Structure 1
């Protein structure tokens, strides 16, 4: 729950920032010098990129949560029994020891969104966030294709 509140707060701050940058861009474009017009146009691109990134991250989070609920309802969500550090993150050695099981599951059935999702959770527990996100995106794509 704390993570959700933090995400909403950070999203609100980003939207505020994007609005302020957009206002500055419009002011710069209205000035009659070439440099300020160029800076204003450049600043128009930043809010668009920021808004796109924000929407992409929110959609990723919502889609991931939906898959968690589906796995949980089916009783196929892995049990989080790994020992934890004081930060609450799993101990890496224990997570690494469980990783081959999830990797073998994906190798046995590469078309299974459930296997890819569990592999993503395993990557995350091992501290490999980029691979975790790629695996979760793959799971989302596979699940969408099966609908």
Structure 2
């Protein structure tokens, strides 16, 4: 195995996520600068508005941190499952446009849901359920299931 192929590849969406984060960081920097400028005027109304404006960058930074933490934990879970040979296999039939066949996704979903009902404390079951939700195009529930898997994961 060559040195290049032995190196771990970057996750697929990492470059895009970092780019969007940098752009969002520039936006947050600009907003924070406006808030500080308002506070420096010393006028009570502007000081109040400036302080309120500074809350926005703090919230954004907190949310970004939480999303990156979740992404890192999901990757660690995937690594563990890959090592065990237990990653969910995406073998569902697809349309010529690449969309997963809805009926096939729904039927595959049932077994993953039953696994979670049998073992509600299993992060592995929740992880697989998340990808079943994703195949069924229910992104909101997929993220909820990934968050649940992450909270149960101790690695």
TM-score when normalising by structure 1: 0.90
Q: 1:105 maps to which residue?
A: 115
Q: After TM superposition, give the deviation of residue 34 of structure 1 in Å.
A: 2.3
Q: 1:140 maps to which residue?
A: 150
- How far apart in 2 are the matches of 1:42 and 1:86? 50
Q: 1:40 aligns with which of 19, 42, 50?
A: 50
Instruction: Tell me the SS of whatever aligns to 2:66.
Output: helix
- How far apart in 2 are the matches of 1:87 and 1:54? 32
Matches within 5 A, 1:73-112: 73-85=83-95, 88-112=98-122
Q: 1:89 to 1:59 in 2, by over 3 A?
A: farther
Q: After TM superposition, give the deviation of residue 33 of structure 1 in Å.
A: 2.3
Unaligned runs of 5+ in 1: none
Instruction: Tell me the SS of whatever aligns to 1:65.
Output: helix
TM-score when normalising by structure 2: 0.86
- How far apart in 2 are the matches of 1:86 and 1:139? 32
Per-residue CA distance 1:51-81 (angstroms, 9 max, x = gap): 0000001111111111011111100011111
- How far apart in 1 are the matches of 2:25 and 2:125? 36
* Greater Cα offset, 128-137 or 44-53: 128-137
Give the aligned length: 145
Q: After TM superposition, give the deviation of residue 133 of structure 1 in Å.
A: 1.3
Q: After TM superposition, give the deviation of residue 89 of structure 1 in Å.
A: 4.6
Q: 1:49 to 1:117 in 2, by over 3 A?
A: same
Higher helix share goes to which structure? 1
RMSD across aligned C-alpha pairs, in angstroms?
Answer: 1.7
